[in-house]
């Protein structure tokens, strides 16, 4: 999946589109664009993982993207993608899973 680099100080990505799998080895606070066109930063995904509440509104464990119910309703390949680190594909996986749950569950 391609993303757009919004960090004006970044010298790593010189073009508009880059592979989000290789998101900024410098670990800068570069924002990415989710499927709704909203800009999301690395900090946003850290907050998601630390939050006590799932996107569905139920309680969830620390360092988990979703609550137990939502996690169990995800297909296996999506669960595997959520094990990636922030900056190494977690962002895309989270947005894909959230969209899947919005369409098929919530």
Residue 54 burial by Cβ neighbours in a 10 Å radius (0-12, 13-18, 19+): buried
72 vs 76: CA distance, rounded Å = 9
Lookup: tokens for 66? 């979703």
Res 2: pLDDT: 42
Has residue 14 got a pLDDT over 70?
no
Q: What is the CA radius of gyration of the chain?
A: 14
Q: Report how many domains make up the chain.
A: 1
Instruction: Note down the domain range covering 34.
Output: 2-104
Higher local confidence (pLDDT), 29 or 98: 98
Question: Per-residue pLDDT tens for 96-106?
Answer: 999 999 999 87
| pLDDT, average across residues 65-77 | 95
Has residue 83 got a pLDDT over 70?
yes
| pLDDT, average across residues 11-16 | 50
- Of 47, 35, 39, the C-alpha closest to 86 is 47
Q: How confident is the model at residue 53 (pLDDT cuts 50, 70, 90)?
A: very high
Tell me which residue has tokens 């996986």: 93
- The percentage of the chain sitting over the pLDDT mark of 90, rounded to a whole number, equals 42
């Amino acid at each position: 999946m391609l993303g757009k680099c919004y960090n004006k100080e970044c010298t790593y990505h010189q073009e508009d589109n880059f592979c989000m799998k290789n998101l900024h080895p410098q670990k800068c606070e570069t924002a990415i664009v989710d499927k709704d066109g909203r800009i999301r930063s690395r900090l946003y995904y850290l907050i998601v993982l630390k939050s006590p509440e799932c996107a569905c509104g139920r309680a969830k464990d620390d360092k988990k993207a979703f609550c137990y119910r939502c996690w169990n309703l995800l297909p296996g390949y999506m669960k595997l993608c959520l094990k990636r680190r922030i900056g190494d594909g977690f962002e895309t996986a989270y947005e894909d899973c959230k969209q899947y749950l919005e369409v098929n569950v919530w």
